[in-house]
Amino acid sequence: MYGYHGRALIIDLTSQKTSCVSLEPQVLRHFLGGIGLGTYLLYRFCPPGVQPLDPANPLIFVGSPLVGTRLTTSSKFAIITKSPLTGFIGDSLSSSFMATELKGLGYDALVLIGQCKRPTLLFLEGSNVHFLNASHLLGLSTLETEVAVKEELGDPRIRVACIGPAGERLIRYASLSNDGGRHAGRTGTGAVMGSKNLKALAVRGRERVHIFDPIRLNEIGNALTQKSLGPATSKYRVLGTMSNVAVFNRLGTLPTRNFQQSTFDGAENVRGEFLFENHLVKNAHCANCTIGCEKVLATKDDGQEVEGRMEYETLFSLGPLLGVADPNTIIRAARKCDALGLDTISTGVTIAWAMECVERGLLNPISTDGIDLRFGNGQAILKCIQLIADRQGIGALLAEGTRRASQILGHGSEAWAMQVKGLEMPGYEPRSLKTMALGLAVSTRGACHNRSSAYEADFSPQVNRLKADDSRGKIAMQSEDLSAVLDSLIWCKFLRKAFDNFYAESTEVYNRVTGWPMTVEELKQAGERINTLKKIFNIREGWTRGDDTLPTRVLEEELSDGVAAGVRLTSDELNMMIASYYRARGWTEEGLVPEAKLRELQLLSLVEAYNSPETVGMI
């Protein structure tokens, strides 16, 4: 087999036994790899209705057919589980050398089930599996853990994926970190790893990747590399996504002070151009990446100098969203989140919710442990981040995420908990980006800007971003399906504009790697299949029509500032767009998947085999 190994390794952490399941070519062709194959494996191995922090919830690491080739941006892997934040599918991507080492083990996926009896470092070396004591690693930051593990195992080529203190304490939006600064964020995969008493996974692969047509693939790769260094990626290569701040501020799409405003009066000193000129230390590259989108910034104040990695979502969520106009605070907060292993978006949005609670008098200095948790107070934010990771004081409430925290606090605070399906919202103001609003509402992951790139339509002449209409359903669907293929092959999304014809070129790459004839239509259908299976998983785990929505604030308040002042998004408008999305997908009016669609996508037998009895017939 080329490009794949055709098997997955199952490790039972409780019994310390391993087994192997074969992955048939049809499964690999249908789900490709990455997020797609991970979704398939989650559907198979996750017991219906299991609690996310239960040992039976699998934590799945998945490679892709492109890993191990020299194609730019191909060193990526996916991590899939049932999310402790949403209760639905939790899928993340991470990058760099870990991807190559995982594939070098000789498996397409690693499925971890059960729970270690003690804090454990799981070391996979070729075909050997070692369960090592990790008690001495508890409390270490993500980077400290990686360094300690590599020193202990004595091999600099070992790659480490680990959790920080946040994952150890099961913070619901804890992330998983690898390769000195890459993070699998969103949905709390780090908390699942912590629930398994697994502090770190160390990997040293030995097997080479076999490619069907290496000569032709090399030609394609060289051409793609050249395009990746051109204007199609210049934004990412030079300024990175930090440059979104000034643009979004001007367009009235920059969520500010917990989405109370859509422009930020302090944007001048936190816009990407300013940070580039005054704080940039260097670019950061993943392995095999010619783009280098991530920027390492350094503080420039009187305090101890700190370096932190920066991109738009971190910048927005720890900056304008919290009313912070000091870049030094944002850099320190970002560094702190990374070290503790916390997703920066969820951290920022949850703190923003708390700040508004303080503003409204629902929380006071006593309930916030004496911290003046008001918008703009940088020191308070830094203290709060630590309290969250420690689950201490106000941090114990905030560690649960905005949905649970607002349900616990009550007093109407759910209205300004900015989340969808429990996942905190990214930095796109949906009231002034109506296609993105739809994308956020229907995404299986929750409020996600990665599984849907629906904002692209809003930043184009294709639509009027300020008005809703029923053309958005098809647009959102196509955007999701494209993202699913990107996330399953796996290509970095920042490479997408370098393709002249993404599907045609990706099909050729797939064919050259695997030797399996794949057509453009088959590849497109794979994207649809993957998104449909994600939806079916969610339905099995309790999704209802009411989960496809947006926060109360978005649906009841009009924008107050900027060029989009006065614009609002009504429930009727959102429901109209959601209905158009269900129609585009061929789903029922209630958002369920009919049997005919399952047959069309060749999902029926899989669904029947692994569905819970009470949902059979309801899909």
CB of residue 499 vs other proteins: minimum separation in angstroms?
11
CB of residue 262 vs other proteins: minimum separation in angstroms?
12
429 vs 249: CA distance, rounded Å: 10
CB of residue 556 vs other proteins: minimum separation in angstroms?
24
CB of residue 368 vs other proteins: minimum separation in angstroms?
30
> Which of residues 411 and 467 has its CB atom nearest to other proteins in the complex?
467
> Which of residues 273 and 614 has its CB atom nearest to other proteins in the complex?
273
Q: How far apart are the first and last CA of the chain?
A: 35
Beta strands in 319-430 (DSSP E): 419-420, 423-424
CB of residue 374 vs other proteins: minimum separation in angstroms?
27
CB of residue 579 vs other proteins: minimum separation in angstroms?
20
Q: Which amino acid is at 32?
A: L
User: What does R_g of the chain's alpha carbons equal in angstroms?
Assistant: 23
> Which of residues 114 and 427 has its CB atom nearest to other proteins in the complex?
427
CB atoms within 10 A of CB 513: 28
> Which of residues 353 and 428 has its CB atom nearest to other proteins in the complex?
428
313 vs 427: CA distance, rounded Å: 6
> Which of residues 153 and 280 has its CB atom nearest to other proteins in the complex?
280
Please, is 351 exposed, middle or buried when counting C-beta atoms within 10 Å of its C-beta (0-12, 13-18, 19+)?
A: buried
CB of residue 478 vs other proteins: minimum separation in angstroms?
15
Q: What is the DSSP letter of 174?
A: B
> Which of residues 122 and 334 has its CB atom nearest to other proteins in the complex?
334
What share of residues in the chain are helix, strand, coil (percent, to 5)?
45, 15, 40
> Which of residues 163 and 436 has its CB atom nearest to other proteins in the complex?
436
Task: Identify the CA nearest to 588 among candidates 558, 550, 544.
Answer: 544
Q: What is the DSSP letter of 229?
A: T
Say if residues 51 and 42 touch (Cβ distance below 8 Å). Answer: no
> Which of residues 217 and 423 has its CB atom nearest to other proteins in the complex?
423
Instruction: Find tokens 């005919």 and name the residue.
Output: 596
Q: What is the DSSP letter of 13?
A: T
The dihedral over CA atoms of 13, 142, 390, 189, expressed in degrees to the nearest 10, equals: -50
Please, is 483 exposed, middle or buried when counting C-beta atoms within 10 Å of its C-beta (0-12, 13-18, 19+)?
A: buried
CB of residue 399 vs other proteins: minimum separation in angstroms?
25
CB of residue 429 vs other proteins: minimum separation in angstroms?
12
What the block records as the tokens of 63 is 């490679």
CB of residue 137 vs other proteins: minimum separation in angstroms?
32
121 vs 200: CA distance, rounded Å: 5
Peptide bond into 490 cis (omega under 30): yes
What the block records as the tokens of 204 is 């040293």
Angle (CA) 29 30 33, round 5°:
70
The footprint of other proteins (CB under 8 A) covers 231-232, 234-236, 238-244, 246-247, 250-252, 272-273, 276, 311-313, 427-428, 449-450, 453, 455-456, 459-467, 471, 493-494, 497, 563
> Which of residues 75 and 243 has its CB atom nearest to other proteins in the complex?
243
* 237: region left, alpha or beta (phi > 0 left; psi from -120 to 50 alpha): alpha
CB of residue 523 vs other proteins: minimum separation in angstroms?
22
> Which of residues 102 and 297 has its CB atom nearest to other proteins in the complex?
297
> Which of residues 99 and 232 has its CB atom nearest to other proteins in the complex?
232
CA distances from 515 to 172, 442, 551 (A): 42, 36, 47
CB of residue 38 vs other proteins: minimum separation in angstroms?
21
157 vs 553: CA distance, rounded Å: 49
> Which of residues 131 and 499 has its CB atom nearest to other proteins in the complex?
499
CB of residue 475 vs other proteins: minimum separation in angstroms?
11
List of residues 6+ apart from 42 with CB closer than 8 A = 58, 60, 80, 81, 82, 89, 537
Secondary structure class of 193 (helix, strand, coil): helix
> Which of residues 73 and 244 has its CB atom nearest to other proteins in the complex?
244
Please, is 287 exposed, middle or buried when counting C-beta atoms within 10 Å of its C-beta (0-12, 13-18, 19+)?
A: middle
